[in-house]
Amino acid sequence: MGQQIRQLAAEIPLIDNHCHGTINHEIERDQYEIYATEGDWLPRNGLSVLDEQFGVLTRALVAPLLGLKKHCSPDEYWTRRREIGQTALAEKLLPLTGIETFIVDTGFKSDNILTPDQLAAVGNGRAVEIVRLETAAERMITSSSATAFSADYAKYLAEESKDAVGFKSIIAYRYGLDFDPEKPSESEVAAAAAEWIAEIEATDKIRLSHPVLLRHVLWEAVSHKKPIQFHVGFGDSDINLHRCDPTQMTEFLRRTVDSGTNIMLLHCYPFIREAGYLAHVFPHVFLDTGAAINYTGPEHASLIRHSVEMAPFGKVLFSSDAFGLPELYYCGAAIWRQAIGDIMQGWVDSDAMGESDARKYLTWMASENAHRAYKL
Binding site for Zn ion (CB under 5 A): 321
- Comparing CB distances to Zn ion, the nearer of 86 and 169 is 169
- CA dihedral (333, 94, 170, 375) positive or negative: negative
Cα–Cα distance, 22 to 330 (Å, whole number): 12
CB of 232 to Zn ion, least distance (A): 11
Min separation Cβ 246 and Zn ion, Å: 16
Minimum CB–partner distance for residue 229 and Zn ion (Å): 8
For residue 270, cis peptide bond before it (omega within 30 degrees of 0): yes
Residue 254 — φ and ψ, nearest 5°? -55, -45
| Residue with smaller CB distance to Zn ion, 16 or 321 | 321
| CB closer to Zn ion, 220 vs 321 | 321
Nearer to Zn ion, 6 or 267 (CB): 267
What is the chain's alpha carbon radius of gyration, rounded to the nearest angstrom?
21
Amino acid identity, position 160: E
How far is CA 289 from each of CA 88, 90, 146, 148, rounded to the nearest angstrom? 28, 22, 38, 39
Minimum Å gap between C-beta 376 and Zn ion is 19
Q: Identify which of residues 274 and 321 has a Cβ nearer to Zn ion in the complex.
A: 321
* Cβ 57 vs Cβ 294: under 8 Å: yes
CB of 324 to Zn ion, least distance (A): 11
- As measured in angstroms, the least distance from the Cβ of 289 to Zn ion is 13
Residue nearest Zn ion (C-beta atom): 321
By beta-carbon proximity to Zn ion, the closer residue of 129 and 321 is 321
- Using alpha carbons, select from 153, 87, 160, 91 the residue that is nearest to residue 120: 91
CA–CA separation, 370 and 348 (whole Å) = 24
